[in-house]
Amino acid sequence: MTSIPEALLWCLSAGTAAAVVLAALSIRARGQRAGLRSRLSAAEEQNSATLHSNTELSARLRATEAEIRHLSGTRLPDLTLALAHPHVPVPGLLDARFTGTETDQALNAVLEQVSDAITKERARVDAAAQSTLRGATTTIQALLYQLQSALQEMQHRYDDPNVAQDLLNADFLNEQALRRIQATGVVCGAWPGLTREDSYLAELVVGATSRLRGYERVQVSNQLRDPVAVVARAVEPVAIVVTELLANALHHSHRELPVTITLQQGNRGASVIVDDYGVGMHDDEIKAAMELLSGDDSFLLTQLGDPPRSGFAAAGQLVRQYGFGVHVEPSPYGGVRAVVYLPGDPLLTVLDESAQPMSVMAPLPHRSGMPDRSGVPDRAGSALPTGATTPSPAAAAPAAPSAASYEAPAPQAEGELPRRRRRKPVSELDESAERTAPPPPRSPEETGSRWAALQRGTETGRAAAQSEPPRSPEGNA
């Protein structure tokens, strides 16, 4: 009887222990399942974050690749074009998210390096081209000067009127070629090629006029108060500038319209004002012309157009080298007004008209008692009024004032041109009032025939002097 309760007790104890073990195992299993679920959730979150990060990296990579393609396909070609044509815009970033980032800085560094490399290479190539042209134009210019001398010698050698006319035409064509070669050489940094003596400004302008086709349309008005002259070193540069401005005026105006030149004198210098009645220039054209005429910025030959227009560029080079100024603006007559300003110090001087009289082909200044020779120049460059009468030989030669009729130059302000005052103006005014205007302008054919007749008479006289025996003097022995 006592063994049965003990057995039951042992059974209950064993069952309780098994229940405890099972409970513990169940609790442990639940803990493991919870931990597993937690780890699985964390892994899922990590995988989601990794996937999102990978997606962002893929999108950024694709955007970077798009920026690189945009750089190579659009920005660099437009940058190359903008270096030659500044009005062409260069686009920015394709994606604004890269603004200010390292990617943006790297792309801008590429643009700067390419721009610097292209600029240096273009400058190097242009410098080589200018050097080649400079050497070629210098040689051609020297040959054209030799041809000019040969043509002038032949004009004195042959007295046939037809030959004389042909030589004049050939000489004029040679002058056209010489002017273009000279301007091209100046653009490339060459020396103008001529050395002259101090020359009256009026004579210089007339000489510049005679270099151009259509010279008969140019009307010169001399408003100078004094016999103003350009110093020797600046004579040819000023002549080149005036010639190019006149060429522009003649080219852009109708062949039946005149081109007027006015010589004005100020307190500190003199000006050559060229007015045409042509088509005019737009604001952007005037701006571009002023950039070339200022001579401040360097330019490339490729910037002068195709074919190159070297007139304003040559003027700008000379303006920078010799210190005078050129300005262009719309003319009150509808065309273009160009002004060449020559400062009195150091480019101008005043010559003594008694020691070095002005050429009869130059227009006389509008002084009191002096006739106005302004008008249409003939082939030789003289400015003559329309409808003038033929003067007598004695009246045709202007009376040179004596040296005693001038006083020493009066004191003037800094930079002002020196002026001479006459002691006896009444007698000189009476003498100049008796002179009449020169004859009307002649055609090129008439001028050629007159030159031929003059040469024929000269050659005949020389031949007679060499062939005939000396004669006894006439009159009293």
Distance CA 252, CA 254 (A): 7
Instruction: State yes or no: pLDDT of 474 exceeds 90.
Output: no
User: Coil, strand, or helix at residue 58?
Assistant: helix
Instruction: State yes or no: pLDDT of 424 exceeds 50.
Output: no
Q: Do 153 and 328 contact (CB within 8 A), yes or no?
A: no
Average pLDDT over residues 361-365: 84
Report the pLDDT value the prediction gives residue 401, as an integer from 0 to 100.
37
Report the pLDDT value the prediction gives residue 409, as an integer from 0 to 100.
40
Phi, psi of 320 (to 5 degrees): -70, -35
Report the pLDDT value the prediction gives residue 195, as an integer from 0 to 100.
81
Band of pLDDT at residue 433, cut at 50, 70 and 90:
very low
Report the pLDDT value the prediction gives residue 146, as an integer from 0 to 100.
94
Average pLDDT over residues 24-42: 73
Q: What is the DSSP string of 232-281?
A: HHHHHHHHHHHHHHHHHHHHTS-TTS-EEEEEEE-SSEEEEEEEE-S---
Instruction: State yes or no: pLDDT of 275 exceeds 90.
Output: yes
* pLDDT tens-place string over residues 377-392: 433 333 333 333 333 3
Q: Do 310 and 304 contact (CB within 8 A), yes or no?
A: yes
Distance CA 243, CA 223 (A): 20
Average pLDDT over residues 62-87: 89
pTM score, whole prediction: 0.65
Under 8 Å CB-to-CB from 192, ≥6 apart: which residues?
A: 182, 186, 236, 237, 240, 318
- Residue 226 Cα distances to 179, 266, 270, 392, angstroms: 30, 11, 10, 27
Band of pLDDT at residue 431, cut at 50, 70 and 90:
very low
pLDDT averaged over every residue in the chain: 78
Report the pLDDT value the prediction gives residue 337, as an integer from 0 to 100.
96
Helices marked H in 337-470: 344-347, 393-396, 425-433, 444-467
Tokens representing residue 185 in the block: 């050489």
Distance CA 56, CA 364 (A): 86
Strand order in the sheet with 259-265: 218-222, 259-265, 269-276, 336-343, 325-330
Q: Report helix angle 232-251 to 161-187, nearest 10.
A: 100
Average pLDDT over residues 100-113: 91
Q: Which CATH number fits domain 196-389: 3.30.565.10, 3.40.50.1240, 3.40.605.10, 3.40.50.720?
A: 3.30.565.10
Q: Do 377 and 215 contact (CB within 8 A), yes or no?
A: yes
Instruction: State yes or no: pLDDT of 353 exceeds 90.
Output: no
DSSP designation for 376: E
Q: Do 330 and 278 contact (CB within 8 A), yes or no?
A: no
Under 8 Å CB-to-CB from 362, ≥6 apart: which residues?
A: 200, 202, 203, 206, 222, 373, 382, 383
Please choose, from the candidates 216, 212, 333, the residue with its C-alpha nearest in 3D space to the C-alpha of residue 280: 333
Average pLDDT over residues 119-145: 92
Band of pLDDT at residue 28, cut at 50, 70 and 90:
confident
Higher pLDDT: 18 or 109? It is: 109
